[in-house]
Structure 1
């Protein structure tokens, strides 16, 4: 059962084969995999993408997050809660006990998401605790896709904001992600989300919306904010951010216990080129294990 009445094909953009040559100003924004049919992708130019992001189409999902108790993340999570309250958005933000390291704590994300997803009747949207919602993210209201997440360069997934619909395919993705995180606590959760996405799409139907990282406001000088408000947002040359992504982990990893990078710790930059190419080309012909993708 999907949230809202739209199908994924009502979300604008031009749907075509993954082998279609795109123009330089187009970006792949979605992918559809249906059993017995050829894969399709959707692409559009930035002004079209901005219109899609700004259009409210249905009810808001439940926004979910957690924070580690007795760490600076607790205060940051309260700021997230206040931003959601300001916009009258439903949320569920819970404390957890720290496992002693940043990587281990982030690895709990998929387990927490699986728990909340199973306990919730409708779609959910994960937001990292060190973020604030600047304006209502309309693109996840009534969103018909199984999953929506930021994907850079065709292969680099970011797990700080992930929409998960109420569908059978989403359930398989969530379960696969949680299982991979449990087995590989030294690997970043977003790397394992990428592998879980690939395996889920390879095994059956899955529809995915690939969000532009322009939905985030990353830390930067105020003068750039002023420049964008005056020159770029009105002309639809940039996306006006929805999420203030503070990237507090870069400063707080040392606070959360064992901050020193493990010898076997693996992140997104460690993803092997062959797996990057498979993701970028929507090539599901190969089976990939953890040893294959790193």
Structure 2
């Protein structure tokens, strides 16, 4: 019983205590400054939002810990972080799953709130709502005007990155590779960051991580060959369909240009 309690307490400390530790400092500082000076609530919201944005991946990866299990040769599943806990959805493991299910509401709620704020914020910028803009500046200050929605896209990308390791090896590599590739292409094409150097570095880092991911895929021995073949067939079909549509569109443009009057 003591061992079970220790594992549950450790999970609680990793999931809740660390974020609360970083949130207590700004909270007390805001209360102290509010006594001696007029500090607005928007500054506290901005600070807490920035901290939550900074530790978003860490908090998201923590709540998936009870669902990341390793399969042993004898068919037993144990936690990846602690092989003494069996993935049986009973006892200690069940309690850890319940704790993680509650903790997962934090990053999901943050994602939902950010999405709602951006949808409300964009129309109200023209109304000179300075308090709202200051409070939510951690969402928009890093991007060029008109590209604030990339905050939501990056948060969703990071969340899927965290969930990907719970899949099979081939599925995890495929999902992470697609995310890195799409992220690099979108950043290189749209250049959403306020600084051009930031956009260039983001694209370069994504391509480097994609290269590392492809190299690591060479060491994976996945026995699910049927799933891989189906996935490769779907990807090849999409590529052929895309090329066919593009070729047909170009041919149509070519024939239509012949019908136009030449000057």
Taking structure 2 as the reference length, the TM-score comes to: 0.23
Q: Which has the larger radius of gyration?
A: 2
Taking structure 1 as the reference length, the TM-score comes to: 0.22
More strand by share: 1
